[in-house]
């Protein structure tokens, strides 16, 4: 039996690589062969999925303090994970963040450095941001738009939220109060108008433009292509070729809910497996009860670590739990 391990991270408890390795150990322990292919959808972990960082730069963090950000340059292709420069973790989480002030300046500095270093294809993964600045900080740091003529800018998005919806949908997660959310929403509306006047592109209702608090929309105004991150990563890693001839595909994430099937790893991997006629096992830290009630998990076998092992063990030893489940299912 041949098993492909293609999970996302379990946010806050384990990386995609750690979960993938646990899946492999579980399969191998019962005599199967297995291959680890850690995935990402444009959020945190995308840089690692696409080869890992080989450059390090000091840039402006989300709240103005300098931060060290890893990124990748291979030939003329650069990979930048905005969370490394402008991420919520760097701002101290929602509790430490200043939602009205957080800026994407550092991400723009990385993009500019990549292009000045010879990159002609720049992949920007935009999940996990502290910001709702509509990409204004990044565009200011990038400098003249003329610098990016002939450069292919691709934005890997982990959501499909439109530009002006970013504040309401994601602002609370970044520490914004209801009053601040409204201020941020109005700022994005004005910024969309400004981008249309300056660049001739209307990003207000553009799908995916709200990713990373509107950074995706700001880059789209500059001519970037917005894509589902899972499809980009799957293409870069040749997922369709890797799963060919497999007997089972195992994927997973920390929380399996309705969003898992809207541009996220679980939904994307499941779709690739379905196209190849392969069964899928989803291992998740938790499974949304509403998803189960609607029968949405019937499309795949889904196992909740919390339901199976209890919350304490699921959080303290997610890899051990995943390994045990895969050994049980494959065996």
Q: Which architecture, in CATH terms, is 46-230?
A: Alpha-Beta Complex (3.90)
Query: CB count, 10 Å around CB of 255?
Result: 17
Please say whether the beta carbons of 128 and 85 come within 8 A. no
Q: What is the pLDDT of residue 242?
A: 97
- Sheet containing 301-304: give its strands across: 33-36, 2-5, 248-256, 280-287, 301-304
State the residue for tokens 């300056």. 198
**In the chain, where the domains are located:** 2-39+238-330, 46-230
Helix 211-221, helix 178-199: angle, nearest 10: 10
Q: What residues does 280 pair with on adjacent strands? A: 249
DSSP string for 268-286: HHHHHHHHTT--EEEEEEE
Rounded alpha-carbon distances, angstroms, from residue 104 to 45, 139, 296: 18, 8, 36
Tens digit of each residue's pLDDT (9 = 90 or more) over 282-316: 999 999 887 765 555 444 588 999 999 999 999 99
Q: Which residues contact 238 (CB under 8 A, 6 or more apart)?
A: none
Compute and round to an integer the Cα radius of gyration of the chain.
20
Q: What is the pLDDT of residue 19?
A: 98
Tell which residue, 168, 72, 174, 166, has the closest CA to residue 124. Answer: 72
CA distance 273 to 238: 13
Q: What is the pLDDT of residue 292?
A: 62
SS3 of 14-55:
ECHHHHHHHHHHHHHCCCCEEEECCCCCCCCCHHHHCCCCCE
Q: Which architecture, in CATH terms, is 2-39+238-330?
A: 3-Layer(aba) Sandwich (3.40)
CA distance 211 to 163: 8
Q: Which residues of the chain have pLDDT under 50?
A: 297-299
Q: What is the pLDDT of residue 298?
A: 46
């Amino acid at each position: 039996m041949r098993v492909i391990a293609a999970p996302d991270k379990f946010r806050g408890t384990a990386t995609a690589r750690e979960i993938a390795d646990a899946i492999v150990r579980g399969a191998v322990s019962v005599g199967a062969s297995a291959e680890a292919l850690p995935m990402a959808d444009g959020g945190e972990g995308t840089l690692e999925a696409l080869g890992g960082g080989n450059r390090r730069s000091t840039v402006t963090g989300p709240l103005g303090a300098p931060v060290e950000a890893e990124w990748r340059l291979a030939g003329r292709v650069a990979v930048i994970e905005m969370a490394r420069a402008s991420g919520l973790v760097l701002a101290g989480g929602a509790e430490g963040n200043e939602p009205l002030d957080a800026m994407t300046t550092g991400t723009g500095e990385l993009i500019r450095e990549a292009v000045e270093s010879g990159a002609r294809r720049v992949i920007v993964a935009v999940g996990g941001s502290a910001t709702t600045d509509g990409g204004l900080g990044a565009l200011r740091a990038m400098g003249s738009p003329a610098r990016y003529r002939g450069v292919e800018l691709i934005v890997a998005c982990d959501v499909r939220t439109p530009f002006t919806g970013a504040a309401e949908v994601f602002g609370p997660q970044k520490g914004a109060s209801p009053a601040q959310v409204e201020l941020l929403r109005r700022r994005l509306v004005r910024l969309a108008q400004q981008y249309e006047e300056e660049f001739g592109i209307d990003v207000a209702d553009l799908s995916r433009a709200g990713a990373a608090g509107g950074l995706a929309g700001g880059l789209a105004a500059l001519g970037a292509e917005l894509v589902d991150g899972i499809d980009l990563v799957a293409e870069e890693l040749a997922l369709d070729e890797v799963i060919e001839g497999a007997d089972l595909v195992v994927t997973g994430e920390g929380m399996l809910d309705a969003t898992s099937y809207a541009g996220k790893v679980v939904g994307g991997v499941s779709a690739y497996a379905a196209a190849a006629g392969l069964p899928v096992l989803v291992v998740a830290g938790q499974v949304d009860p509403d998803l189960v009630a609607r029968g949405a998990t019937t499309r795949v076998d889904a196992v909740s670590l919390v339901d199976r092992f209890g919350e304490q063990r699921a959080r303290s030893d997610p890899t051990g739990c995943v390994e045990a489940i895969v050994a049980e299912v494959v065996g």
